[in-house]
Structure formats: C-alpha cells, structure tokens
Chain A
Amino acid sequence: MEIAKKTLIVVACLLLIPVTAVTTAAAKQRFADGPNRVFSGGPLESGDLHRGPDPDWLFVSDIPTIELQLLDPPRSRRIWTAEFDGKIYVWSGYMSTAVGRLWKRWPVQAERDGRAVIRIDGTRYERELVRIKSGEILDGITAAISSKYPSKTTRAAVEAGEAWVFEAAPRE
C-alpha cells in the first residue's frame, strides 16, 4: 500500500512539470502582441489600421492563417481563413466535442459580441463577426475551405453545429 502511495506521489510530481510548462507558456502569451500557435495572445496592437473600402479578400487564399482578436474579451488567436464571393470567413471546428468546446471558447464569445480585429500581413482590419448557421451560401464557403485546407467541413457539419462559421463583415 505504501509503495502504491509513493508511486502515485512520484507520478503526480513528475506530471506537475509539463503542466507547469504549459501553464507558464499560456500565461506568457497573454502578455504578447498577438498569438503564437494555440495559446491566446493579448490585443493586436502593432500594425497599421486599414481605412477606406474593403480590400479584395482574394489575397487571403495565399495566407495560411490570420490573427483574430475579439474586443470582448480582448484576446487574440491564430485561425484559418477563407475567401468566398469577395467576403472573408473564419470558422471553428470541433464544436460538438467536449475538448473542442473547452479549447475553443472564442466562437461562443464572438456570437455574444462579434466586434473583432483581424491582422493580416501586419495590417489590422476592424470587423464584425456574423455567424452563418444555414443556407446555400455554406456550400460555397465550405467548398472554399476544403479547397484551401485539409478540412472535412461540410454544409451539413455547419448546420449540425459541428463547425461554426462566421463572416468577418465590415464593422459599421
């Protein structure tokens, strides 16, 4: 019994090292200007703020990821993006899994308050995230997603709530 107890303590102590490493890395990223990989970063502060008419979003087809920050809470993350019919879209998968819901809180926060800033190639754009839950447009958006990324996102998956798709519309 004593050996089992000691083994348990040793394992718990050893596990504490990676847990500490992950916690420290996540906390450190919160103070950074933007995200790195998966941990949320702080507000997007550097980079010119885009003014004037919307750009031709087709250029994001060549960009693997963008930085997205919500105004509330003011945290940023790196996400995939796609262009369809002149508009820019972002999305989040794994929304029907427990781990996914725990990992990805921004879609829920964005649905509550869609005001956001995206940063692409050092330029910041003020946007309003508008969730698209259904409709024929999802056929085109998911086709654009699948042609750009190794993703199995389909219209059915979006309509079932497995993936949440948002248009990053211009902010009024």
Chain B
Amino acid sequence: MKFFYRCIAVALVVTVLAVAFVPSVSDWVEQVFQQYVGRAAR
C-alpha cells in the first residue's frame, strides 16, 4: 500500500503541474468536465 500511496502522490503533483502550466491540458480537463456536468444537469 505504501508504494501505491507514493504513486498517487506523484500522480497528483504531476496532475497539478500539467494542468497549471500546460494550456492544452487545462482546456481538455475543462472540456471533459463540461460534458459530464452538461449531462448531469439534464
């Protein structure tokens, strides 16, 4: 489990950095979020 937690921690840091500093990544995240929220609202 310890190894799994470390992997998750690394994944979270990579996620934050990628979304914060790579414009196409944040745009993609927003696009996917838009699809899910739009579906849920209907």
Contacts and interface: CB of A to CB of B under 8 A. Distances in A.
Interface in A99-127: 99-100, 103
A39 B30 contact: yes
A16 B20 contact: no
Interface residues of B, number: 21
Given A97-B41, A99-B41, A20 B15 contact: yes
A37 B37 contact: no
A37 B41 contact: no
Given A16-B8, A16-B12, A22 B41 contact: no
A9 B34 CA distance: 27
A66 B11 CA distance: 36
* Interface SS majority for chain B: helix
Contacts of B30: 25, 29, 36-39
Interface residues of A, number: 23
B41 A103 contact: yes
A3 interface: no
Residue among A13, A14, A21, A22 facing the most chain B CB atoms (10 A cut-off) = A21
A6 interface: yes
Contact of B11 (A9, A17, A24, A28): A17
Interface of B: 1, 4-5, 8, 11-12, 15-16, 19-20, 26-27, 29-31, 33-34, 37, 40-42
